[in-house]
Amino acid sequence: MTKNKNDFINLNNAREDEQIEVMQKIATQDHCPFCSENLRLYHQQPTLKEGKYWLVTKNQWPYKHTKHHLLLIYKSHATKLAELEAEAGAELFAIIKELEQELALEGGGLALRFGDTDFSAGTVNHLHVQLIVPDAMAKDFEPVRVKLGLQWEKRK
């Protein structure tokens, strides 16, 4: 395992200075920042919705050019798809359907990274789904891209 990577986080995939700072703090604790007992220690966004399996909140560090960047965090610690309960899939779709209606989402995408963070390019290795609506009507808009995988020279 590289210096910036442990079982719970991968600093090499962090994008913003403040995010890197928070992640460095988490690294010293060696615990998972998305597990419910730790989430409030670092995450400052309110919970917008909560089901049996998923919790919905805003991304603390939204991607540039997004109108909405929500996280649906699995409520138990899981890193592999095989660890998800079958019923969690049905609840996930029920929640995103509600969000689409309630927030009148025009369109966007879902991203679900899983497993080894060198492959997923995830910063936090705890299953979560990103719901991204680009700010496509903004004058300076540029397409939002989701990265998968980390190049060798960035693995520190």
Per-residue binding string, Zn ion, 58-77, x by CB under 5 A, is -------------------x
Residue among 52 and 139 whose Cβ is closer to Zn ion: 52
The nearest distance, CB 33 to Zn ion, in angstroms, is: 8
The nearest distance, CB 136 to Zn ion, in angstroms, is: 33
Exposure letters 62-74 (e unless 16+ CB within 10 A, then b): bbebbbbbbbbbb
**What sign does the CA torsion over 47, 48, 54, 59 have?**
negative
Longest Cα–Cα distance of the chain, Å, equals 43
Residue among 67 and 113 whose Cβ is closer to Zn ion: 113
The nearest distance, CB 81 to Zn ion, in angstroms, is: 15
**What sign does the CA torsion over 120, 123, 126, 132 have?**
negative
SS3 call for 85? coil
Per-residue binding string, Zn ion, 126-145, x by CB under 5 A, is x-------------------
Q: How many residues bind Zn ion (CB under 5 A)?
A: 5
The nearest distance, CB 60 to Zn ion, in angstroms, is: 16
Site for Zn ion in 90-129 (CB under 5 A): 126
DSSP string, 117-156: HHHH--SB-S-EEEEEEE-TTSTT--------S--GGG--
Site for Zn ion in 5-64 (CB under 5 A): 32, 34-35
The residues of the shown chain that bind Zn ion, judged by CB under 5 A, are 32, 34-35, 77, 126
